[in-house]
């Protein structure tokens, strides 16, 4: 019988510096808490720094809180100036699910702007200061997505809440595929992995309790509070990438039925998410929109 994975597998991370985006709530908070508990210095990159400071006090250990709004490219570009020194690991955890179609201050569709273009630019800008690993939080929602490379901002095709979210996560999966390819081709010491946290109840907290989705939100959350992973279980696939000797480019999810909950394991991705040609086009789209590229 195999022993279930546990955070003790992280060992002693004293001396390691790790950025976690979106570290005030949900999986990001669980990730930050467990990394700090293992001795790492956790740089909490968050929109709300006041909440971030309160979370840092609750977490304890060695932490710092820096301002980062992934929906604002100016904030992304300012972030490296706020960061002191290099880091060992960059965890692109933060993500958004919007209730209605909106554009970022840069004119990007909000979901793709926050979930892909913000982390993409951040990774490129920080890359010279990342020593060992980049972990991008994707989602099995990508398996239901239609990519629409000709309309990534959904300006002509129909926009739906879950359609936009799934597409953004498919784009993240393809970015991760091309990122891994480029790192290996360049012989970089930095490795990249993708993760799927499973179904985590707290990740629904960004949906409002007002408006047309309110009743559905409350019903789903009531079920999720009973059946879904808690935030530390949701963090496990990300932490598994740090603690286990897995190959570069791996996709780590959960072993439960339908990918909803369970312990961390290597999992498969959709055929589209394995398409290197589509991955290159997503990378080119993100380069064009953000004006950044990976300096390898």
Ramachandran angles phi, psi of 275, nearest 5°: -90, 105
pTM for the structure as a whole: 0.91
- Bridge-based pairing of strands 191-195 and 130-137 is parallel
What is the predicted pLDDT for the residue at 28?
96
What is the predicted pLDDT for the residue at 139?
95
Q: What is the mean pLDDT of residues 175-181?
A: 98
What is the predicted pLDDT for the residue at 198?
87
Q: What is the mean pLDDT of residues 117-137?
A: 98
Q: What is the mean pLDDT of residues 223-241?
A: 76
pLDDT band at residue 54 using 50, 70 and 90 as cut-offs: very high
- Assess whether pLDDT exceeds 80 at residue 204: no
What is the predicted pLDDT for the residue at 208?
44
**pLDDT tens track for 137-157:** 999 999 999 999 999 999 999
Q: What is the mean pLDDT of residues 12-32?
A: 97
Q: What is the mean pLDDT of residues 56-70?
A: 98
> Annotated catalytic residue: which of 165, 240, 251, 276?
165
- DSSP letter string, 167-219: HHHHHHHHHHHHHHHHHHHTT-S-EEEEE----BGGGGTTS-SSSTTHHHHHH
Active site residue 251: no
Between 26-40, 202-216, 233-247, the lowest mean confidence (pLDDT) is in 202-216
What is the predicted pLDDT for the residue at 260?
59
Mean pLDDT of the chain: 91
């Amino acid at each position: 019988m195999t022993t279930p994975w546990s955070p003790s597998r992280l060992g002693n991370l004293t001396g390691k510096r790790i950025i976690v985006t979106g570290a005030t709530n949900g999986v990001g908070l669980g990730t930050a808490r467990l990394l700090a508990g293992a001795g790492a210095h956790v740089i909490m990159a968050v929109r709300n720094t006041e909440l971030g400071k309160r979370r840092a006090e609750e977490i304890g250990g060695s932490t710092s809180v820096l301002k980062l709004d992934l929906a604002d490219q100016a904030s992304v570009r300012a972030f490296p100036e706020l960061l002191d020194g290099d880091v060992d690991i960059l965890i692109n955890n933060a993500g958004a699910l919007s209730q209605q179609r909106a554009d970022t201050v840069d004119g990007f569709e909000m979901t793709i702007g926050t979930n892909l273009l913000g982390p993409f630019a951040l990774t490129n800008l920080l890359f010279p200061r990342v020593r060992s690993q980049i972990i991008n939080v994707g989602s099995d929602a990508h398996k239901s997505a239609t990519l629409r490379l000709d309309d990534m901002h959904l300006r002509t095709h129909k926009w739906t809440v879950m359609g936009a979210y799934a597409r953004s996560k498919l784009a993240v999966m393809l970015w991760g595929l091309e990122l891994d390819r480029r790192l290996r081709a360049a012989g970089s010491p930095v490795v990249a992995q993708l993760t799927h946290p499973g179904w985590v109840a707290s990740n629904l907290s960004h949906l409002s309790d007002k408006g047309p989705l309110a009743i559905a939100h409350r019903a789903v959350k009531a079920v999720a509070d009973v059946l879904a992973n808690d935030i530390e279980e949701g963090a496990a696939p990300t932490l598994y990438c740090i603690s286990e000797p897995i190959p570069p480019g791996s996709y780590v999810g959960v072993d439960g039925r339908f990918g909803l909950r369970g312990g961390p394991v290597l999992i498969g991705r959709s055929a589209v998410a394995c398409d290197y040609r589509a991955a290159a086009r997503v990378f080119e789209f993100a380069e064009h929109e953000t004006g950044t590229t990976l300096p390898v």
